[in-house]
Amino acid sequence: MNQPPKLNIGSHDLPVSAKLADFMMTGWADTERTDVRPLPCVPFTAPRREKLSALFAGHRLIIPAGTFKVRANDTDYRFRPHSAFAWLTGIPGSEAVPDTVLVFEPRGNGHDVYLYLHPRSSRESVEFFRDRRHGELWVGRNPTAKEAEVAYGIKVRHINDLATDIAGKSDTILVRGEDVKVDGLIGAHEREGELLQMLAELRLIKDDFELEEMRKAVEATVRGFEDVVRALPDAMKSERGERIIEGAFYTRARTDGNDVGYDTIAASGAHACILHWMRNDGEVNDGDLLLLDAGVEVESLYTSDVTRTLPVNGKFTDAQRKIYQLVYDAQEAALATIKPGAKFRDFHRASQRVIAKGLEEWGILPIPAEESLDPEVGLHRRWTLCSTGHMLGIDVHDCAKARADQYLDGVLEVGHVLTVEPGLYLQPDDLLLPEELRGIGIRIEDDIVVTEDGYELLTKDLPRHPDEIEKWMARLLENR
């Protein structure tokens, strides 16, 4: 395990004298940790690895955590491990070491699993104070191999041994594109696509640990939405009020979790009509609506994905309420379809039916709703724009690589976690709309888990009904 370090040194780092190097390597206390215990996820991650192992008997599988992604020049984004790696190892986001690689080494009908890791740099080499990437005095402490083995329940090897250990071995299937160094070590394999597919499909049904993490993500997100309501008076005073909103939520995400699960959409006024408005550089004005689509990603990397559309001053106008109520009714109709065995597309269809009928009643839809609801027609979609939900988990759009028959064309099963998020987006320049409705965008997005007898609304603590929203906002704004 004692490898000569290849140092990652920056262009402006000054040389270090031999005297300084010697001096730096002496006089340190022993800080080996003796209190490390297996993480609570360990009883759940081992069966996940076994399921994957059973699908690929005889093949070596390589799942990199990934590496840094450049933000600009020689500075990187904060590291976030690959979702399948996180699912298989349970390593929390803040602890994950860039460049780690998970290897399933075939043995008999199963696999031995190894975590190839850059462990804590000892004080016997200059790495700990010179290496920008792994040096303890640059980025903090990595676990030692022993600590990692105990905490994660996986055998650990040094990352520097990976190339030698897998050199010349065939039948290796890689999750490609996450770590360019590992990509270079392994040739293409015809089952690469299948590995990704399986890593998505195995994640469709959440285990009890995952459901607990989802609940934590939702709880933190609810606190974040409360913070945002309290920040509204400040947001109204700023030229970039949407940034105040984004910042308020981000503070909660970083305080209570690992990060936001995706870039926050803080869309005020007509910006709410843009599905993924992430520029967030607009004003937040009295009388407008704020569409906030945001989710806290907890340390285990599970994220919630929630949208509320809130009246900035705490009270919906009649026009806003009329549109909000239609989206609310669409969401109620969608939720009512959710149960094991229902088709994944059913909840989307149910919400679209309510919205198409509403648009017909308001004289906006130029054809009868029934005709519009024919998938070959779909004119109402001018105002709904996107589908009504998706799987949710470690990725905000979870299990995206699952085959259609398992997901989009499949049926709901107990343990599926998904969003239900109907919306109406009435563009400010849409001449087919009455003037008083233009520039209003509403989305209501909730997270649910499918249960034996229907579903559990994970986001139940965040009000949805317009009356409840007004009461909730009044309470928060009074007790600021």
* Residues at the contact surface with ligand GLY, assessed by CB under 6 A: 262, 293, 305, 396, 421, 445
How crowded is residue 229: how many other Cβ atoms within 10 Å of its Cβ? 24
Least gap, CB of 81 to Mn ion (angstroms) = 22
DSSP string, 76-126: EPPP---HHHHHHH---TTTPPTT-EEEEEEETTEEEEEEEE--PPPTTST
What mask of x and - would describe binding to Mn ion in positions 402 to 431, judged by CB under 5 A? -----------------x------------
Q: Tell whether residue 288 is a contact of Mn ion (CB under 5 A).
A: no
- Extended beta strands in 108-246, E state: 110-117, 155-158, 172-174
Least gap, CB of 412 to Mn ion (angstroms) = 16
The single residue among 179, 246, 305, 395 that binds Mn ion, judged by CB under 5 A, is 305
Which CB sits closer to ligand GLY, 305 or 346?
305
Instruction: Select the span of 62-70, 75-83, 317-325, 442-450 touching Mn ion (CB under 5 A).
Output: 442-450
**CA-CA-CA-CA torsion for 73, 74, 77, 79, nearest 10 degrees?**
150
Least gap, CB of 390 to ligand GLY (angstroms) = 6
Non-local CB neighbours of 190 within 8 Å, separated by 6+ positions: none
Least gap, CB of 419 to ligand GLY (angstroms) = 6
Least gap, CB of 258 to Mn ion (angstroms) = 18
Instruction: Select the span of 93-101, 143-151, 189-197, 285-293 touching Mn ion (CB under 5 A).
Output: 285-293
Instruction: Select the span of 100-108, 283-291, 322-330, 440-448 touching Mn ion (CB under 5 A).
Output: 440-448
DSSP string, 150-168: HHHSSEEEEGGGHHHHHTT
Distances (CA, A) of 78 to 71, 86, 139, 144, 405: 9, 16, 11, 22, 35
Q: Tell whether residue 303 is a contact of Mn ion (CB under 5 A).
A: no
* 101-107 and 440-443 beta bridge pairing: unpaired
Least gap, CB of 423 to ligand GLY (angstroms) = 9
- Give the one entry of ligand GLY, Mn ion, none that residue 246 binds, where binding means its C-beta sits below a cut-off of 5 to 8 angstroms depending on kind: none
Which CB sits closer to ligand GLY, 21 or 400?
400
Non-local CB neighbours of 363 within 8 Å, separated by 6+ positions: none
Instruction: Select the span of 14-22, 30-38, 122-130, 301-309 touching Mn ion (CB under 5 A).
Output: 301-309
* 259-260 and 296-297 beta bridge pairing: antiparallel
- Give the one entry of Mn ion, ligand GLY, none that residue 262 binds, where binding means its C-beta sits below a cut-off of 5 to 8 angstroms depending on kind: ligand GLY
Which CB sits closer to ligand GLY, 131 or 293?
293
Tokens of 209: 């640990």
Which CB sits closer to ligand GLY, 144 or 419?
419
Non-local CB neighbours of 287 within 8 Å, separated by 6+ positions: 312, 313, 317
Least gap, CB of 245 to ligand GLY (angstroms) = 15
- Extended beta strands in 154-301, E state: 155-158, 172-174, 259-260, 265-268, 289-294, 296-297
CA distance 380 to 365: 6
- Extended beta strands in 265-415, E state: 265-268, 289-294, 296-297, 306-311
Which CB sits closer to ligand GLY, 153 or 295?
295
Q: Tell whether residue 242 is a contact of Mn ion (CB under 5 A).
A: no
For the chain, state the CA radius of gyration: 25
How crowded is residue 301: how many other Cβ atoms within 10 Å of its Cβ? 27
- Give the one entry of ligand GLY, Mn ion, none that residue 446 binds, where binding means its C-beta sits below a cut-off of 5 to 8 angstroms depending on kind: none
Least gap, CB of 421 to ligand GLY (angstroms) = 6
The single residue among 293, 395, 398, 446 that binds Mn ion, judged by CB under 5 A, is 293
Binding residues vs Mn ion (CB under 5 A): 293, 305, 419, 445
